[in-house]
Amino acid sequence: MATTISAALPVPTDPPPANGVLDYLGVDGCVRLPFDLDTARLAAEIAALPADVWEKSSRDPIVQASVESFFAIGYPRGPKPLPPDDRPVMARLPYLRELLRGKVDAQPKRAIVARTVPRGFIPLHTDTPRFFRGTVRLSIQVLSDGVQRLYCDGLWYDMAVGEVWALDNLKRHALHHAGASPRINVLVDYVPTNALVAWLTRGERGLGVADPAATAEMEAMSRERYRRNRWRSVKYELFKLVWRRSA
């Protein structure tokens, strides 16, 4: 779909666009972007990392229960803003650094390499608007046992290894990794620029499909995940409230 996006760039400070930058720019849904990616090289770099690089996420113990991850750029949320520095692990990932800082004409605020365990499940959720402060979320598909189906705002998107997607992460979204081996992707949040918006205009839109049966199953799985972890969820929400007040 080759329509033009026409909107002023959002300022990456508070208050962020209420429904995310894609919505603010007039982009309806997730976008598959044209990108030249050596997936095998990137996967090999990540595979060579020591095992202790990966850790269970503390960002959300319910949503991220099936995910091991590490920050390559930037830091987890905290009471004060922190600079978008390369983390030490990036010295072991020269190709990833080239992709994130050289291939995209925009500043990355954070980059997270995530590994979803086999049969892992990320329940329905929306990301925290205040944390993203008007950034564009990209997802690089590095390794997967088959095509992945992302649910976002009522539609399903098939994502294959080697693809790069702009995600509507401030809309309700979820993912069920049905494969027998881990899924690895890189999540990057960029401060929007005219060049980045122009890249979005060249992407493929309108790729989401409705699947009522799959949606009903995802909603049921999500309710069960939250029900079984009710008190962990309450504790995490209280933590976020204290964090916001101290920021």
The enclosing domain of 227 has a CATH number of: 2.60.120.330
| Stretch among 27-41, 117-131, 144-158 having the lowest mean pLDDT | 117-131
Asked if residue 12 belongs to a domain, the reply is no
Q: What is the model's pLDDT at position 124? A: 92
Report the C-alpha gap between 158 and 183 in whole angstroms: 14
Asked if residue 3 belongs to a domain, the reply is no
Query: Residue 41's closest CA among 174, 143, 147, 192?
Result: 143
Give the pLDDT confidence of 198-207 residue by residue, as tens digits: 899 899 999 9
Q: What is the model's pLDDT at position 49? A: 96
Its domain, for residue 242, covers 21-246
Asked if residue 2 belongs to a domain, the reply is no
Asked if residue 119 belongs to a domain, the reply is yes
Q: Check whether the bond before 88 is cis (ω within 30° of 0).
A: no
What mean pLDDT value characterizes the chain?
A: 85
Alpha-carbon separation of residue 97 from 8, 68, 107, 186, 194 (angstroms): 29, 20, 12, 12, 22
Instruction: Provide the domain count of the chain.
Output: 1
pLDDT mean over 177-185: 91
pTM: 0.86
What percent of the chain is predicted at pLDDT more than 90?
51
Report yes or no: 33 and 159 within 8 Å, Cβ to Cβ: no
Asked if residue 157 belongs to a domain, the reply is yes
